[in-house]
Amino acid sequence: MIVLESKKVDMKGVSPALKHTVNILATVLAGAVAFVFFAYGFSYRSLPFIEKNLLLLISVSSSVIGLLVLAYIVLYVFNKQAFYRLITCALLFIDICAIVFFVICATGLITKINSIQALRDYIAKFGNMAVFLFILFCFLQVVILPIPGSVAVAAGVALFGPLKCAIYSFIGIILGSVVAFAIGRWVGYKAVKWIVGEDTLKKWLAKLKGKDYLILSLMFLLPMFPDDVLCFIAGLSSMTWPYFLIMITITRAISVFTTAYSVGLIPFNTWWGILIWAIIFTSFIWAKQDKK
């Protein structure tokens, strides 16, 4: 557990107590930003669904954000780095979603996008920029954002269709995987330790010692392992660049194209489809964290 001692001063002249306080306040602020933008977005009551369920939407969003902030504080106090950093990334992603939601509500855009086809038609107006943004999102999903790749691919199918989504997702995910490997290979242990957490890193390095080629290849192919984290760790292993590029290309292609063409089996426009995808998303998050 973290001990907040105001008398100790680190090398940079900042006391641990002040550092911990700033980290916690920054997380509370991130939660507050998300709540404010969601609340203002809901206040426009742009859709009948929002008008009818305004109080419920505000209550649910505020409860989820509040629980994330509370979980961060508890995990931070007990120094569970991998988990509280994941929550930090999640809150930053929620902030982005809240701001985008507010903008499309404030501009009235949300009323013009009432179906998947309408959404595709709107995105098509942006041409290559929409494609670039989606590829960037897939890239960030590997390097920064705590979102399973399958969820990003599922969203892309709704926007572009399975084939184009698979191609765009593959480009972004491959670029992110290469950057993650490069960080581990060129920047080194300290950078990867900060990104994935020291305990997580030590566990994986111990597991991979002497058999990194075989184990990493199998883990990248199977969906229950944290493949994004493993890209960073692979950079610290003895794996060579040529082997990594070939292996990651094959395994990512299999996972991305399989996901893209299986998404159509579970629709997004029914309550049971949404429920199944919510369960899949939760299961992926749990499984990946459990493997850490």
Round the average pLDDT of the chain to a whole number and report it. Answer: 77
Kindly report, residue by residue over 265-287, the tens digit of the pLDDT.
Answer: 665 555 566 666 666 655 555 55
Kindly report, residue by residue over 153-199, the tens digit of the pLDDT.
Answer: 777 887 788 889 899 999 999 999 999 899 888 877 776 776 666 77
Longest CA pairwise span in the chain (Å): 61
pLDDT over 50 (residue 292): no
Alpha carbons 150 and 169: distance in angstroms, whole number: 10
Closest CA to 86 of 216, 202, 226: 226
Q: Tell me, what amino acid is at 277?
A: W
pLDDT higher at 29 or 158 = 29
Q: pTM for this one?
A: 0.60
pLDDT for residue 4: 46
Kindly report, residue by residue over 80-122, the tens digit of the pLDDT.
Answer: 776 787 788 778 878 888 888 888 888 777 776 655 666 667 6
Neighbours of 281 (CB within 10 A): 15
C-beta pairs of 274-280 under 8 Å, 24+ apart in sequence: 277/151, 277/154, 280/150, 280/151
pLDDT band at 66 (very low <50, low <70, confident <90, very high): very high
pLDDT band at 8 (very low <50, low <70, confident <90, very high): very low
* HEC string for 189-220: HHHHHHHHCHHHHHHHHHHHCCCHHHHHHHHH
